[in-house]
Chains A and B, each alone.
Chain A
Amino acid sequence: MQKAFGRKKVIFMFLAPALIVYIFFVVVSVVWAGYYSFFDWSGVGEKTFIWFQNYIQLMQDRIFWSTVGHTLAYTVICVLIQVFGGLLFAIFLTRLTKGRALLQTLYYVPVVISSVAVCQIFGKLLSVTPTGVINAFLSLFNADLAMMEWISNGEVALYVAAFVEGYKYLGLYMVIFYAALIGVPKDLEEAAIVDGANVVQQFWRVKIPYIKPVIISNCILVLNGSLRSFDISYLLTKGGPGNASELMSTYMYKQAFSSMKYGYGSAIAMVIVIICMAVGFTFRRVTERGEKV
């Protein structure tokens, strides 16, 4: 049996279905988007081949470049909340002896609720007229805060959207970290205790270095997810007010499906792919270097 699993043909047989699906749904889509990016096309009617015009226009598009900045800020916030928040929550869970399962379930609930519902809930919580729960609570300290705008305020809308995205998926990464933390061998922990390590040192010196590969994997997952994040930002703020919370993906969607500039939208999609790959690759290289050291 073991011999069979070692054979290249058998390995390929197991890998092939996923590979074929991936090629059909990802690689082919990327290639098609690349093809469309060389056309001026409204989605219906004739396509006009315009060489690199869409890319030249994109390089001069100041809104697009502001969306790149927004997306990076959005990603940083998501990484902080989902990875570091998730890790912190997982650590707290491992310290609990009672009610752990209940808390774990509660934290995981937003992951299974649809994005539409989550955005509706936050829309109501952060409402100004009628006064939502958050503003009603804040107005207890300062009456002016009853009129504090969150979703429709250009200065904070992006951070609010990032927070909601972080909140939604925090539970997912918490569960992964929790599983990794309880998988740390007991003898390592006992050895640290024997050496006189306190609880913080046990985590900082033993458990966290042990689960470093999991942390890196989660970082990559969050990075990729946040760089092409769409639903929360679009549902909560529609990229507004103006373009204040516009992300690369919502901008791409608007250009392709609202402005009906499919060629230009495809060019943006191609740049998103390149940026995602570049960030992911750079992150991988940096973390690999750290591992070698």
Chain B
Amino acid sequence: MRKKKLTALLLAGVMAISAALTGCGSGTSDDASGSDQSSEGGNGERKKITALLRCSETSAKYIILKKLLTEFSEEKGLEEPEFELVNGDADYVTKLQLYINSNSLPDIYGCANGALSAAAKDIDSMINVGDELERIGMKDDMNGALYDFFTDADDGNVYLFPESLNCEFFFYRKDIFDKYNLEAPKNWDEFLEVCKTLKEKGEIPLVVAGKENWQLMRYLSFAPWRMTKDGFIKGYMDGTETFSDNVAAKSGAELLYTLGTEEYFQGGFLSTDYTAATDLFFGGTGCMWYSGSGQITQASEMYEAGELGFFAVPDVKGEDNMDTNVPIHGGFGTAFNAQTYDDTMKECFQYICENYSEACYKEAKVFSPFNDEMPEGLDSLFYDLYPMFETATDAWVSWDDKLDSATLTSLVDEQQKLAQGSETPEEFEKVADSLITK
């Protein structure tokens, strides 16, 4: 009896220890070559390609990469590519941190320019996309503004591959504008005048997804971008520029405050998310909506019916504005893991680049980051929008990427207060300036 008890106890102990060791096994590894080996077979040969993406199954990025990686894997006799999709921003960041800390990043992963890309570079988990594009002779084929968007501020290299070419602009209801004899505004003064007229006529001038951090931040950053490109935001981060002293930044704060407090946004705008705002605008509510090429599919029907028009980001009146007035960016970048970048992955990179445009236009219905000719038969918005950014060389400067996470989080809270009028532009500027320690 006693022997039996002892044996049972011993077995239980062994089980507990092995469970604990299994858990520990997935923890941090200091081994520099400790990347995920699941994509390799026992003899070191690659079995499949793995990818971690911040998107859902309906996102352009997934649609494009799923098609290309599946086709490539079939061609090379590999197993089906393995995708791990995480939709939420914070969840994705946590997941990526985990992979970086344990040095087990997949072959392909989504990454934003900033602290995480720097950390991934530190563990040698990012290939130089610029060099690779040069190797396959496609560097000059990529849109100049997009290449500029992903250029690393520290060393001038490009480590991220664009998801697609995204251009942003305002959609407006042509039928409503015609009804009140209004024209698409060229500068922000005209923009506010249009909003005022529409408000007086009982319309909702502007739809905004105030629950999304980036939407309100666009209004803060339009003027600094048109006037200084990245001059203000870089200076702000360095502590050499302040909201209180910079004319462009003050103009941005004033604009957001006016739009919010004059009730030019729809009621309850701070609780409207992007999907709800999209549904509102394309469902017939509101007269203007800041959106982009990612919504061509939703906009096409109204556009073909002559109900929709579009205009670029207005100028700041009386100031020097840069020529590019359409924010162009490559979305959430994609990195290729340098530690698993073997010959197969090199071939895969080339295959992706060579077939990216076709997948963009035919499958995902988005603009390609490469300057390839657009196929026939697309929605007419594609052809009408193209001249807006065809010759653009300056990219959009995304504050979400430039600001460090802590400043960004605080600024997001403050911009909500500003838009709601619970903080004046002067108070906002003071708080925003205090977020940066010189």
CA distance A242 to B115 in the complex (A): 25
Which chain A residue shows the least CB distance to B20? A24
A200 CB-CB contact with B under 8 Å: no
Which chain A residue shows the least CB distance to B279? A130
Chain B neighbourhood of A130, CB < 8 A: 280, 285
Q: Which of A45, A253, A255 contacts B119 (CB 8 A)?
A: A45
Decide: A129 and B204 in contact? CB cutoff 8 A: yes
Contacts A44-B100, A257-B94, A259-B406 given; does A243 touch B267 at CB 8 Å: no
Decide: A261 and B420 in contact? CB cutoff 8 A: no
B350 CB-CB contact with A under 8 Å: no
A192 CB-CB contact with B under 8 Å: no
Decide: A241 and B280 in contact? CB cutoff 8 A: no
Expressed in whole angstroms, the minimum distance between the Cβ of A252 and any Cβ of chain B is 12
CA distance A9 to B270 in the complex (A): 59
Decide: A129 and B280 in contact? CB cutoff 8 A: yes
Q: Per DSSP, are chain A's interface residues mostly helix, strand or loop, or mixed?
A: loop
Decide: B90 and A257 in contact? CB cutoff 8 A: yes
A181 CB-CB contact with B under 8 Å: no
Q: How many A-B residue pairs have CB under 8 A?
A: 88
CA distance A243 to B211 in the complex (A): 13
CA distance A154 to B119 in the complex (A): 37
Q: Which of B101, B115, B414, B420 contacts A260 (CB 8 A)?
A: B115
Using C-beta atoms within 8 Å of the partner chain, give the interface range for chain A.
Answer: 20 to 34
Using C-beta atoms within 8 Å of the partner chain, give the interface range for chain B.
Answer: 20 to 34
Chain A neighbourhood of B374, CB < 8 A: none
Q: Which of A44, A129, A151 contacts B101 (CB 8 A)?
A: A44
CA distance A43 to B270 in the complex (A): 30
CA distance A44 to B272 in the complex (A): 33
Decide: B122 and A45 in contact? CB cutoff 8 A: yes
CA distance A186 to B410 in the complex (A): 59
Decide: A260 and B267 in contact? CB cutoff 8 A: no
B17 CB-CB contact with A under 8 Å: no
Which residues between 222 and 251 of chain A lie within 8 Å of chain B, taking CB atoms?
237-243
Decide: A254 and B409 in contact? CB cutoff 8 A: yes
Decide: B413 and A149 in contact? CB cutoff 8 A: no
A82 CB-CB contact with B under 8 Å: no
Interface centre among B122, B269, B405, B422 (most CB of A within 10 A): B405
Q: Which of B270, B408, B410 contacts A240 (CB 8 A)?
A: B270
A91 CB-CB contact with B under 8 Å: no
Expressed in whole angstroms, the minimum distance between the Cβ of B313 and any Cβ of chain A is 24
Contacts A130-B285, A241-B270 given; does A258 touch B90 at CB 8 Å: yes
Which chain B residue shows the least CB distance to A123? B271
Which residues between 237 and 281 of chain B lie within 8 Å of chain A, taking CB atoms?
266-272, 280
The 3 residue pairs across chains A and B that have the minimum distance between CB atoms = A128-B268, A152-B270, A44-B119
Binding site for B on A (CB under 8 A): 42-45, 123, 127-130, 147, 149, 151-152, 154, 237-243, 253-255, 257-261
